[in-house]
Amino acid sequence: MGVLLMLTTLGGLVLAGILVGVAWLHQSTWLKKFVLGGVAIWLAFYFALLLGLSLLSKERLIPVGDANGKAFCGFYLDCHLHAAVTGVMRAKAIGNKTAVGEFYIVRVKVFSDARNPEIAFHLIEPNARIVLADGSELRRDTDAEALLPSADARLDGDIKGSQTIEKEIVFDVEQRGRDLKLLITEGYGIDKWIELFLVGDDDSLFHKQTYFALG
């Protein structure tokens, strides 16, 4: 719904711009007022819907093994890419590297539900981190990840059709807790600005986030 609403809004603004130009050329005051009034009403409706759905949203926690995972909407407003957590392991050491606390080894699967097998999709600068109960975040231990079999896999690699990316990401967790949760986001620059105004998107204004459970 959010993608359709945004495309409708953008198309409407382009059409409104053309009609305002026509009104200016023909010195048609009523047409100019009609178009600008329609734009104002639509934008008021759009932002009311955007903020309303965001303020009513609730935090979502996806369990380990959930096949649907979390959907991501990219720069072209497609929502074909998904990420899921397929397993969580804990270890004190990985290879010759010992954790300060305990390593959480999280298996992440990235996949696409696009119907066209010729189009390649990829996450844009994916950012995975653990969010603690106090709101602070733990970053990935990339040195420990380099010692694992999936070290060469990249979360932002290209995917076509039924292809998947499976990678183990690692966090050094000093204080274990049942309320640990993983947050994966993606995008930069204009991507973030687009999603900020995408109705119903996790990254839209004031919208609650979707996390992965690690308990």
Instruction: Please choose, from the candidates 83, 184, 84, the residue with its C-alpha nearest in 3D space to the C-alpha of residue 128.
Output: 184
- Residue 115 structure tokens: 């119907």
> Rounded distance, CA 111 to CA 117, Å?
12
Q: Where are the alpha helices (DSSP H) in the chain?
A: 2-25, 29-56, 142-145, 190-196
Residue written as token pair 């711009």: 17
Residue (of 132, 3, 165, 13) closest to 74 by Cα position:
3
Q: Which residues are CB-neighbours of 48 under 8 A, at least 6 positions away?
A: none
- What pLDDT is stored for residue 59 in this prediction? 93
Is 65 within 8 Å of 86 (Cβ atoms)? yes
pLDDT of residue 176: 67
Cα distance between residue 91 and residue 36, in whole Å: 62
Threshold 0.85, pTM exceeds: no
Place of tokens 């390649």: 120
* Residue 115 CB neighbours (<10 A): 8
pLDDT (0 to 100) of residue 70 = 93
The answer to whether 99 and 114 have CB atoms below 8 angstroms apart is no
- Averages of pLDDT over runs of 10 residues in the chain (215 residues) are 81 93 90 94 95 93 93 67 95 94 96 85 92 90 96 94 94 81 87 81 88 89
Residues 6+ apart with CB under 8 A from 172: 99, 100, 101, 102, 103, 138, 141, 144
Short-list 122, 110, 114, CA closest to 85: 110
Angle (CA) 194-198-203 rounded to 5° is: 80
- Give the number of other CB atoms < 10 A from CB of residue 95: 10
Say what the pLDDT of residue 52 is. 94
Give the gyration radius of the chain's Cα atoms: 22
- What pLDDT, on a 0 to 100 scale, did the predictor assign at position 55? 93
Per-residue pLDDT, 80: 81
